[in-house]
């Protein structure tokens, strides 16, 4: 058809002069171009930039348009892969590995101190004091940048500090009464508290599978508690209170860090200082200097000067592992933080059983395994539901 048309691309002839090679009874039809496919876009090029424009279906007697529209295929080249996300994942992985390692060392020294010097309120206070001193020296020597804070920052930090203080003291009280492994088995039930707080206080809802994943967590923790050889109610309740307090701490921390110029490391430093101010009067009221002095003399006679090193080590490692965990919280959500916090307990449980030679019954180990498995299932389901929720917003 086109070959039968006498088209001059340099000087297009009017349509009336074009003789179609069709029957005279059949009127020539105008060809309509189909709309561009999704992979195509329209581009308009000025006539001056085209040496040989192609006129399609020009109207009789109408002036030529100075703009000619044509179709071009969209660029289908492969997108450039951004390496920033991979670097971020590696950074978070290093944070998590360091966090877990420091936490294991802290738990070992903390238990050694509490076995020889059973004063958890003072031990908790010394941990916060050591961290506060480390950061004050770092700011003075400009090893770390001094944070710029105001009254609003400290107001938003106060509920975080209250929750952190309660959780810290409760966990220390628990470990002073029971084995480290038992405390962390009970604390692996933190996801259950996270879901309950999110559901009944924050108003969040989750898929049924998330609620079902709590059954093995609660069941495994309960089985371990019932079969624990050295079960103690104060130790059990301390771990439970710590779970609840740390869930609130993580939620308040993430909210408080939004829109703030204070980094995770400095945020935890400020948190330690405020918690120290809150805890000190309560520690003095509950235990007191007289009890501390008498207990220290007893520990020196039983352990020797090594008790001083143990107390210093547990205080410093407590600050370091929490500092790294808050540096991780800078990069992740409270959910991922809670999952990482739960999964680290596997290394703490195993290492404490080996080092302290804690007797473990098979049924007790089964309960711990069920709780950890439930935690893994919970983390996967929560991550999937979070991803689905984010996808639904797009």
Mean pLDDT by 10 residues, the chain (394 residues): 44 47 48 47 42 44 46 44 71 82 93 95 96 94 89 90 95 94 88 85 84 89 85 93 90 67 81 96 95 94 93 94 78 68 79 87 88 81 67 47
Residue 350's contacts (CB-CB under 8 Å, 6 or more residues apart) are none
Question: Can you tell me the distance from the alpha carbon of 214 to that of 378, in angstroms, rounded to the nearest whole number?
Answer: 7
Contacts of 250 by beta carbon, 8 Å cutoff, 6+ apart: 329, 334, 337, 338, 341
The whole-number pLDDT of residue 274 equals 96
Cβ atoms of 160 and 276 closer than 8 Å: no
Backbone angles phi, psi at 229, to 5 degrees: -70, -35
DSSP assignment of 98-155: HHHHHHHHHHHHHHHHHHHS--HHHHHHHHHHHHHHHHHHHHHTTSSPPP---HHHHH
CB 283 within 8 A of CB 121: yes
Q: What one-character DSSP code corresponds to residue 22? A: S
| C-beta of residue 189 within 8 angstroms of C-beta of residue 343 | no
Look at strands 67-73 and 40-46 and give their pairing: antiparallel
CA atoms within 13 A on the CB side of 221: 24
Q: Are 263 and 147 in contact (CB under 8 A)?
A: yes
Q: How far apart are CA 233 and CA 99, in angstroms?
A: 29
Structure confidence at residue 158 (pLDDT) = 94
Residue 80: alpha-carbon gap to chain centroid: 27
What b/e string do you get for 238-249 counting C-beta neighbours within 10 Å, with b at 16 or more?
A: bbbbbbbbbbbb
Cβ pair 189, 371 in contact under 8 A: yes
CB 236 within 8 Å of CB 178: yes
Whole-number Å distance between alpha carbons of 276 and 161? 9
Q: Could you give the CA distance from residue 100 to residue 342 in angstroms, rounded to a whole number?
A: 10
Residues 6+ apart with CB under 8 A from 195: 206, 210, 211, 214
Report d(CA 325, CA 84) in Å as an integer.
Answer: 21
DSSP string, 40-98: EEEEEEEGGG-SS----SPPTTPPPPSEEEEEEEPP-PPPPPPTHHHHHHHHHHHHHHH
**Beta bridge mates, 40:** 73
**Where do the H-state alpha helices sit in 188-232?**
190-200, 208-227
Q: Which of 165, 92, 123 is nearest to 331 (CA)?
A: 92
Q: With a threshold of 0.75, does the pTM exceed it?
A: no
What tokens appear for 195 in the block? Answer: 């879901």
H helical segments located in 287-333: 289-302, 306-329
């Amino acid at each position: 058809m086109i070959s039968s048309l006498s088209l001059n691309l340099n000087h297009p002839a009017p349509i009336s002069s074009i003789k179609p090679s069709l029957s005279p009874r059949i009127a020539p039809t105008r060809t309509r171009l189909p709309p561009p496919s999704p992979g195509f876009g329209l581009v308009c090029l000025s006539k001056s930039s085209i040496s040989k424009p192609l006129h399609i279906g020009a109207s009789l007697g109408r002036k030529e348009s100075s703009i000619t529209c044509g179709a071009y295929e969209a660029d289908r080249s492969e997108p450039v892969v951004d390496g920033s996300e991979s670097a971020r994942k590696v950074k978070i992985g290093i944070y998590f590995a360091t966090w877990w390692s420091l936490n294991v060392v802290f738990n070992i020294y903390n238990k050694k101190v509490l076995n020889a010097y059973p004063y958890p309120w003072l031990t908790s206070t010394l941990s916060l004091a050591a961290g506060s001193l480390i950061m004050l020296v770092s700011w003075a020597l400009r090893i770390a940048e001094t944070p710029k804070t105001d009254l609003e920052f400290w107001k938003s930090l106060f509920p975080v500090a209250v929750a952190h203080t309660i959780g810290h003291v409760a966990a220390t009280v628990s470990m002073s009464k029971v084995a480290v492994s038992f405390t962390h088995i009970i604390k692996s039930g933190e996801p259950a508290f996270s879901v309950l707080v999110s559901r009944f206080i924050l108003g969040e809802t989750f898929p049924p599978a998330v609620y079902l994943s709590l059954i093995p967590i609660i069941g495994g923790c309960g089985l371990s508690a019932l079969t624990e050889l050295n079960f103690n109610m104060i130790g059990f309740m301390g771990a439970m209170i710590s779970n609840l307090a740390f869930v609130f701490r993580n939620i308040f921390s993430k909210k408080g860090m939004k829109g703030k110029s204070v980094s995770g490391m400095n945020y935890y430093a400020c948190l330690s200082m405020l918690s120290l101010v809150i805890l000190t009067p309560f520690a003095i009221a509950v235990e007191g200097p007289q009890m501390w002095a008498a207990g220290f003399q007893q520990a020196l006679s039983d352990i020797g000067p090594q008790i001083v090193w143990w107390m210093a080590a547990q205080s410093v490692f407590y600050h370091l592992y929490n500092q790294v965990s808050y540096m991780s919280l800078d990069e992740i959500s409270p959910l991922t933080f809670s999952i990482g916090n739960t999964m680290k307990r596997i290394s703490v449980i195993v290492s404490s059983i080996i080092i302290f030679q804690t007797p473990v019954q098979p049924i007790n180990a089964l309960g711990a395994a069920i709780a950890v498995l439930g935690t893994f299932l919970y983390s996967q389901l929560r991550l999937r539901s979070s991803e689905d929720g984010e996808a639904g917003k797009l």
